[in-house]
């Protein structure tokens, strides 16, 4: 397993947001985590990437226990998150935003990293000197993904990549995620839009009020009547 999470719990003070969650990511796969508003998806991802501390449980990545490892060190070993809402730096240029993603990498890798991102998202090459704040929502999502790729991840954590995007842009972004996965990148994608995430994923987990209530192959969950009724609009 590339990522193995056992009995993970996360709290905000006395409020429990994630409860006893166990999950696994096989190397080379896409894992979807679906669940409605407030289910704990973002908290779970932020705990995996080390931004939020685990209250209980353990996280093993590529054979090492990283439960107490600082966020920057997790990036250095290949666990990289694309945050909810993109969080790009609007006043910086596209290229400057991308370079920020490479802070754990040696300087001599940066131009090759930029080239990889520009091949994947040519529009970012056209806009490389422009302010990131002037990009459309879809382009900002590309930039957020590109910035994460600059860290040369082994596992990419994506928080709601489709949020607020027009349907065609959603399709485009999902195709790119699938393309990255075909080239060997493992992916965890969190989505309120369950059908989108389940369609591209190999395995999936359904989260409700911080607990895993269902898991299995994504294609099986897509056909599960309870999942269809609760998350896929019946």
Q: Which is nearer to ligand ATP, 124 or 189 (CB)?
A: 189
Q: Which is nearer to ligand ATP, 14 or 182 (CB)?
A: 14
* Beta carbon of residue 87, minimum distance to Mg ion (angstroms, whole number): 13
Is residue 23 exposed (0-12), middle (13-18) or buried (19+ Cβ within 10 Å)? buried
Q: Which part of the chain contacts ligand ATP (CB under 6 A), choosing from 12-20, 104-112, 114-122, 219-227?
A: 12-20
153's contact among Mg ion, ligand ATP, none, with CB below 5 to 8 A by partner kind, is: none
Tokens in use for 181?
A: 């996965």
* Beta carbon of residue 59, minimum distance to ligand ATP (angstroms, whole number): 16
Residue of the chain from 3, 25, 34, 39 that contacts ligand ATP (CB under 6 A): 39
The interface with ligand ATP within residues 69-108 (CB under 6 A) comprises 84
The interface with ligand ATP within residues 157-216 (CB under 6 A) comprises 192
Q: Which value, in Å, is the radius of gyration of the alpha carbons in the chain?
A: 17
Tokens in use for 110?
A: 């940066």
Binding status of residue 49 toward ligand ATP by CB under 6 A: no
* Beta carbon of residue 11, minimum distance to Mg ion (angstroms, whole number): 16
Q: Answer positive or negative: Cα dihedral of 176, 182, 183, 189.
A: positive
DSSP string over 49-116 = TTSS--SEEEEEETTEE-TT--HHHHHHTTEEEE-TT----TTSBHHHHHHHTTTTS-GGGHHHHHHH
**Residues written for the chain:** 234
The per-type count for the chain, helices as H runs and strands as E runs, is 10, 10
Q: Which is nearer to ligand ATP, 124 or 212 (CB)?
A: 212
Binding status of residue 17 toward ligand ATP by CB under 6 A: yes
Binding site residues, Mg ion, CB under 5 A: 41-42, 84
12's contact among Mg ion, ligand ATP, none, with CB below 5 to 8 A by partner kind, is: ligand ATP
Residue 69: partners with Cβ closer than 8 Å, 6 or more residues away: 50, 77
Q: Which is nearer to ligand ATP, 140 or 152 (CB)?
A: 140
Q: Which spans of this chain sit near ligand ATP (rule: CB under 6 A)?
A: 12, 15, 17, 35, 37-43, 84, 192
């Amino acid at each position: 397993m590339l990522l193995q999470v056992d009995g993970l719990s996360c709290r905000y003070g006395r409020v429990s947001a994630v409860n006893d969650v166990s999950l696994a990511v096989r190397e080379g796969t896409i894992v979807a985590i679906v669940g409605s508003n407030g289910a704990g998806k973002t908290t779970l991802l932020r705990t995996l990437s080390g931004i939020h501390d685990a209250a209980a449980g353990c996280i093993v990545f590529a054979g090492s226990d990283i439960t107490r490892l600082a966020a920057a060190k997790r990036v250095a070993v290949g666990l990289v998150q694309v945050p909810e809402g993109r969080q790009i730096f609007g006043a910086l240029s596209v290229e400057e935003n991308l370079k920020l993603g490479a802070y754990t990498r040696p300087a001599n890798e940066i131009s090759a990293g930029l080239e990889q991102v520009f091949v994947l998202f040519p529009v970012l090459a056209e806009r490389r000197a422009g302010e990131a704040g002037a990009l459309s929502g879809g382009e900002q999502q590309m930039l957020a993904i590109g910035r994460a790729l600059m860290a040369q991840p082994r596992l990419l954590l994506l928080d709601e990549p489709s949020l607020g995007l027009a349907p065609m842009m959603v399709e485009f972004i999902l195709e790119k995620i699938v393309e990255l996965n075909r080239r060997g990148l493992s992916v965890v994608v969190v989505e309120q839009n369950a059908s989108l995430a389940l369609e591209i994923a190999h395995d999936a987990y359904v989260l409700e009020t911080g607990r895993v209530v269902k898991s299995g192959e994504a294609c099986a969950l897509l056909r599960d009547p309870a999942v269809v009724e609760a998350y896929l609009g019946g």
